[in-house]
Structure 1
């Protein structure tokens, strides 16, 4: 079965310098890899570790049992982690992200 999310999770490659670009995480494999990149890896031992653990568990479950429900839960958990660990001020987001990307972030 396909391990692709219904909608990508958008990650700023470097939250300290958001003008460096954005990346779509479209699959479970990309989500698992992202847990160790884009400043998300630092969350594993920080104050958001519960979100990191939740995302990791949901992604592993979605990889082993790629049902629509597990994929949706994995995407949602990864979105919560990204939102907590790599927030970008609205004015910066408006400057560097096309409107379609901004709309996706609101639903992540």
Structure 2
């Protein structure tokens, strides 16, 4: 069985709410959380794009490439993603939203 590869992870993340959750952790890198995402999906997300959206169907206000993840030290069973910010990745995403997130797998063709 071939392991699926996550291409993009889109998350609803209001900018005003993320001000206290989005932390700079290095040059051009930040951490964002606390997401209700399984460990299995978090592992698949390393290397994928992450997109933070104010609303479904709107252009992401922050985007980048996920370089790591960890369990949230503040909220059990939630994850925090570390990513390299890349404004050129920002995009609009309209399909597959559910539970405040949408996942795009490598074998999917969407938008």
In proportion to residue count, which structure has more strand?
2
TM-score tier, shorter chain, comes to under 0.3
In proportion to residue count, which structure has more helix?
1
Task: Give the TM-score taking structure 2 as reference length.
Answer: 0.25
Task: Give the TM-score taking structure 1 as reference length.
Answer: 0.26
